[in-house]
């Protein structure tokens, strides 16, 4: 019998799972090295950084929610979702992501070098960006254009109509749009409210819990000792989340 046969998953269930994942991540880093096959090392090094960032988004989300600022966590949920989905891409994406980032940083460096700095804090000078640019970035591979588009990534894993839709909704609430403004208006659009209208109860914490779980699962699958596999499966069952996202098809 599944959990849904007895009771629905609640916001509290998602919150508990998120806390467990965050604590488990801390224990993993304190107690165990992240061992991967040599051929997966480059991928794991990049993915591990993304996974660590997703867990920090999760921690930050819980802190904001605790003080009544759940609405301000929309950018965190959106970013966590993007990080965990891109982490699915594997080794081909590592080379591509690096090439894309280096190309973009090169453009930023040229732009900042020709701009006045009278309104920019001294630490943000052209040298800061220029120092991040590798002089010998890898050549673009076949996936170059694809990896620059989150919609295409979601399409490749067969989830453009679900995950990308969630991402787009989060973007609309994060950026200055009519949606981000409208949540503070009364139904008749005549008055401004102090508190924004929220979506479905538990909607944000559920998506954050899913994202942290999926990010953790990607790294766990790269590890040779498969630590915490059963524990991760139990968490997936507790919140009825797919235990893995589909692999990206190149």
Strand partners, 192: 185
| All residues at 6 or more sequence positions from 8 whose CB lies less than 8 Å from its CB, including other chains | none
Which residue has better confidence, 127 or 76? 76
Please give the biggest Cα pair distance in the chain: 65
* Residue among 91, 89, 87, 100 nearest 134 (CA): 100
Asked if residue 93 lies in contact with residue 100, where contact means CB atoms within 8 angstroms, the answer is: no
Three-state helix/strand/coil letters over 158-178? CCCCCHHHHHHHHHHHHCCCH
Interatomic CA distance for residues 202 and 18, integer angstroms: 12
Per-residue pLDDT tens for 197-250? 877 767 899 999 999 999 999 999 988 888 789 999 999 999 999 999 887 765
* Residue among 139, 162, 149 nearest 214 (CA): 162
Q: Where are the alpha helices (DSSP H) in 114-189?
A: 126-130, 144-147, 150-156, 163-174, 178-182
Which residue has better confidence, 150 or 138? 150
What percentage of the chain has pLDDT greater than the value 90?
34
Asked whether the predicted pLDDT for residue 72 surpasses 80, the reply is yes
Its pTM stands at 0.83
Average pLDDT over residues 51-59: 97
Residue 82 neighbours by CB distance under 10 Å: 20
Interatomic CA distance for residues 14 and 202, integer angstroms: 8
- In this prediction, residue 81 has a pLDDT band, given cuts at 50, 70 and 90, of very high
Collapsed DSSP state (helix, strand, coil) of residue 192 = strand
What percentage of the chain has pLDDT greater than the value 70?
84
Average pLDDT over residues 182-198: 86
* Residue among 29, 30, 76 nearest 53 (CA): 76
* Residue among 86, 217, 229 nearest 159 (CA): 86
Quick one: pLDDT at residue 139? 65
Interatomic CA distance for residues 234 and 219, integer angstroms: 17
């Amino acid at each position: 019998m599944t959990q849904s046969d007895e009771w629905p998953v609640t916001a509290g269930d998602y919150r508990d799972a998120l806390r467990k994942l965050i604590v488990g991540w801390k224990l993993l880093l304190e107690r165990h090295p992240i061992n991967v096959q040599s051929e997966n090392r480059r991928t794991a090094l990049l993915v591990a950084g993304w996974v660590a960032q997703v867990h920090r988004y999760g921690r930050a989300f819980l802190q904001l929610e605790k003080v009544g600022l759940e609405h301000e966590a929309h950018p965190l949920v959106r970013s966590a979702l993007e990080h965990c989905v891109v982490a699915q891409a594997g080794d081909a994406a590592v080379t591509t992501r690096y090439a894309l980032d280096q190309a973009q940083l090169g453009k930023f460096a040229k732009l900042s070098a020709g701009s006045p700095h009278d309104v920019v804090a001294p630490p943000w000078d052209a040298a800061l960006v220029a120092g991040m640019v590798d002089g010998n970035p890898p050549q673009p591979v076949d996936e170059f254009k694809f990896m620059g588009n989150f919609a295409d990534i979601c399409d490749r894993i067969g989830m453009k109509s679900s995950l990308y839709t969630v991402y787009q909704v989060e973007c609309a609430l994060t950026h200055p749009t009519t949606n981000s403004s409208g949540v503070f208006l009364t139904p008749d659009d005549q008055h401004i409210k102090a508190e924004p209208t929220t979506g479905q109860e538990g909607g944000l914490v559920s998506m954050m819990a899913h994202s942290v779980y999926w990010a953790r699962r990607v790294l766990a699958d790269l590890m040779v000792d498969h630590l915490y596999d059963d524990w991760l499966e139990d968490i997936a069952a507790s919140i009825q989340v797919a235990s893995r996202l589909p692999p990206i098809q190149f």
